[in-house]
Structure 1
Amino acid sequence: MKNFIKNPSDINRIEYWAATTMFVFSIFFLVSSSVDIQDWRYDTATFKEAQQHYSYFNNYFLPVLVRYITFYGSYLLLTFVIVPPLTRKQNIAVNIILTVIIFYLISVVLAITDTWLRGYLFSTYSEDALYAKVFQESAIFSFWLLMMFALYNIIKYLAIYLLGNSDLIEAKYRVITRDGIYAFIVWMIGLFLLLMGQADSEVVVVLAVCPLAGIFLYCYAMYFLLPGSQRAAKPFRNYLKQFFWIAALSSLPIFAVILIVVPRHNDELSIITAIFNLGFQILFTAPLAWYVYKHRVKVDYEIKGLQTALGRSTADLNFLRSQINPHFLFNILNTLYGTSLQEKAERTSEGIQKLGDMMRFMLHENLQEKISLNREIEYLNNYITLQSLRTQASPEITISTEIEDHVGILQIAPMLLIPFVENAFKHGISLKEKSIIRISLVTKDKTLYFDISNSMHDKPANDPEKDNNGIGLANVQQRLRLMYPSRHELSIRESGKEFFVHLTIQLD
Structure 2
Amino acid sequence: MMKQALPFRQIEWWVLTFLFVAIILSNIINTPNFSMSNQQGVIYFAKIFIPLIFMGSFYLFHIRVLPNYFKDNSKAKLIIYTLLIFFGSFISIGAFSVSAGFTTDFLMPFYFNSLAIYAAYCVIIYTLNQILLTDQDPDYRMYNGIRITLIYIFLVIFLLQFQRIAEEAIAFLFVVVFPAIIVLMIYNFFLIYNYKKLGRNSEALAFNILLQFVIAAIFFTIYVQSDAPEALLIGLIVIFCILVFIFPVSNFLFRKYDNYLSQLNTLSVKVDQGSADLAFLRSQINPHFLFNVLNTLYGTALQENADKTSEGIQKLGDMMRFMLHENNQEKIPVIREKEYLVNYVDLQNLRVKDQENIEISFHRSEDSCAGEIAPMLLIPFVENAFKHGISLQKKSWVKISLRCMDGSVHLDVNNSIHRTNEEDPEKKASGIGLENVKQRLELMYPEKHELIIRENDAEYFVHLSIKL
The two structures share one fold, judged by TM-score above 0.5: yes
Determine if contact 1:400/1:439 at 8 Å carries over to the other structure. Answer: yes
Give the direction of change, closer, same or farther, for the CA distance of 1:157–1:250 in structure 2 (3 Å limit): farther
1:161 and 1:467 mapped to 2: Cα distance?
64
1:422 positional shift: 0.5
Question: Would you say 1:502 and 2:467 are equivalent positions?
Answer: no
Secondary structure, counterpart of 1:432 in structure 2? coil
Secondary structure, counterpart of 2:229 in structure 1? helix
Alignment of 1:7-86 (within 5 A): 39=38, 64=99, 70=105, 73-80=108-115
Give the direction of change, closer, same or farther, for the CA distance of 1:211–1:41 in structure 2 (3 Å limit): closer
Q: Which amino acid aligns with 1:413?
A: A
Alignment of 1:265-276 (within 5 A): 267-276=228-237
Give the direction of change, closer, same or farther, for the CA distance of 1:244–1:387 in structure 2 (3 Å limit): same
- 1:300 is aligned, of 261, 284, 300, to 261
Match of 2:83 in 1: none
Q: Which has the higher contact order (CA 8 A, sep 6+)?
A: 2
Match of 1:464 in 2: 425
- 2:443 is aligned, of 482, 486, 498, to 482
Determine if contact 1:373/1:409 at 8 Å carries over to the other structure. Answer: yes
2:162 and 2:232 mapped to 1: Cα distance?
22
TM-score by length of 2: 0.70
Question: Would you say 1:432 and 2:393 are equivalent positions?
Answer: yes
Match of 1:405 in 2: 366
Question: Would you say 1:221 and 2:188 are equivalent positions?
Answer: yes
1:411 and 1:300 mapped to 2: Cα distance?
32
1:443 positional shift: 2.4
1:354 and 1:448 mapped to 2: Cα distance?
24
Give the direction of change, closer, same or farther, for the CA distance of 1:308–1:169 in structure 2 (3 Å limit): closer
Q: Deviations 1:293-321 (Å, cap 9, x if unpaired)?
A: 11111111111111111100100001000
Q: Which amino acid aligns with 1:250?
A: I
Give the direction of change, closer, same or farther, for the CA distance of 1:297–1:181 in structure 2 (3 Å limit): farther
Match of 1:212 in 2: 179
2:97 and 2:179 mapped to 1: Cα distance?
43
Determine if contact 2:359/2:396 at 8 Å carries over to the other structure. Answer: yes
Question: Would you say 1:327 and 2:294 are equivalent positions?
Answer: no
Determine if contact 2:330/2:375 at 8 Å carries over to the other structure. Answer: yes
Q: Deviations 1:413-456 (Å, cap 9, x if unpaired)?
A: 10000000000011001111000100001122322221001100
1:273 and 1:388 mapped to 2: Cα distance?
91
1:77 positional shift: 3.4
Give the direction of change, closer, same or farther, for the CA distance of 1:462–1:298 in structure 2 (3 Å limit): closer
Match of 1:280 in 2: 241
Determine if contact 1:184/1:212 at 8 Å carries over to the other structure. Answer: no
Determine if contact 1:218/1:285 at 8 Å carries over to the other structure. Answer: yes
Q: Which amino acid aligns with 1:276?
A: I
Give the direction of change, closer, same or farther, for the CA distance of 1:73–1:428 in structure 2 (3 Å limit): same
Determine if contact 1:191/1:208 at 8 Å carries over to the other structure. Answer: no
Match of 2:375 in 1: 414
TM-score by length of 1: 0.65
Match of 1:353 in 2: 314
Root-mean-square deviation (CA, aligned residues, Å) is 4.5
- 1:250 is aligned, of 215, 220, 223, to 215
Question: Would you say 1:318 and 2:294 are equivalent positions?
Answer: no
Give 1 or 2 for the bigger CA radius of gyration.
Answer: 1
Determine if contact 2:102/2:164 at 8 Å carries over to the other structure. Answer: no
Determine if contact 1:183/1:215 at 8 Å carries over to the other structure. Answer: no
Give the direction of change, closer, same or farther, for the CA distance of 1:435–1:382 in structure 2 (3 Å limit): same
Segment of structure 1 superposing worse, 67-76 or 316-325: 67-76
1:462 positional shift: 4.2
Q: Which amino acid aligns with 1:253?
A: I
Match of 1:230 in 2: 197
1:410 and 1:465 mapped to 2: Cα distance?
36
1:249 positional shift: 1.3
Secondary structure, counterpart of 2:314 in structure 1? helix
Where does structure 2 lack aligned partners over 5 or more consecutive residues?
A: 25-33, 42-95
1:479 positional shift: 0.5
Determine if contact 2:452/2:464 at 8 Å carries over to the other structure. Answer: yes
Q: Which amino acid aligns with 1:371?
A: I
Segment of structure 1 superposing worse, 477-486 or 239-248: 239-248
1:7 and 1:302 mapped to 2: Cα distance?
24
Question: Would you say 1:381 and 2:342 are equivalent positions?
Answer: yes
Where does structure 1 lack aligned partners over 5 or more consecutive residues?
A: 23-32, 43-60, 88-152
Determine if contact 2:114/2:161 at 8 Å carries over to the other structure. Answer: no
Q: Which amino acid aligns with 2:198?
A: R
1:480 and 1:239 mapped to 2: Cα distance?
50
Q: Which amino acid aligns with 1:78?
A: N
Give the direction of change, closer, same or farther, for the CA distance of 1:456–1:215 in structure 2 (3 Å limit): same
